[in-house]
Amino acid sequence: MPTESHQLKTIPEVSDTELVQVIADFLALGHADNIVAMFRQEPRYFTWTGQLLTDERFAVRLGVSVLFEQLAALCPDLLPLAIPGLEDQLRHPVDWVRGEAASVLGIIGTERALAPLPQLLNDRSPQVVEIVRDILGLPADG
């Protein structure tokens, strides 16, 4: 029988790295709604967006896009917090990471989010160039 002096067990701290992995795993399972609530409650999570886009699982990257489409409707004022991390990924050596970062910047859609995209019009990947042209409303190259 517990007494008043009984102490509650403390919940161990979760590192940022572990939390990013949990977010990625939830997105991979299609649970973007849960992550929307987390991002709205803790805006610093927006800074992890670029990192999430490096996940090799397509479902995670798709989940980030779904997440940002929902966040754009619910809290557009917080979306710019993701821009620096996404800008970093525009220089990533892997083509699909650059393309995913450009796509999320397109979802954010502010002048600041779109400003770095023209530099990708000369990207080595035709898919990245196509994504950027589409976001910027430019005609297809050809």
The answer, yes or no, to whether residue 121 has pLDDT greater than 90, is yes
Number of H helices, E strands in the chain: 8, 0
pLDDT higher than threshold 80 for residue 9: no
Residue 78 lies in a domain: yes
CATH for 97:
1.25.10.10
Q: How much is the pLDDT for 140?
A: 81
Please check the confidence at residue 64 and state whether its pLDDT lies above 70: yes
pLDDT at 13: 82
Average pLDDT over residues 81-108: 98
Contact by Cβ (8 Å): 34, 26: yes
List of residues 6+ apart from 71 with CB closer than 8 A? 36, 39, 40, 78, 79
Q: State the pTM of this model.
A: 0.88
pLDDT of residue 7: 61
Q: Please, which residues have CB within 8 angstroms of residue 100's CB and are 6 or more apart in sequence?
A: 53, 61, 64, 65, 89
Give, in order, the Cα–Cα distances in Å from 45 to each of 10, 50, 117, 121: 23, 11, 23, 29
Number of separate domains in the chain = 1
Strand, helix or coil for residue 54: coil
Residue 7 falls inside a structural domain: no
**Residue 126 covered by a domain:** yes
Would you say residue 5 lies in a domain?
no
Q: Is residue 4 part of a domain?
A: no
How large is the average pLDDT for residues 112-138? 97
Per-position DSSP letters for 58-73, written without gaps between them: HHHHHHHHHHHHHHHH
Work out the average pLDDT over 23-33.
95
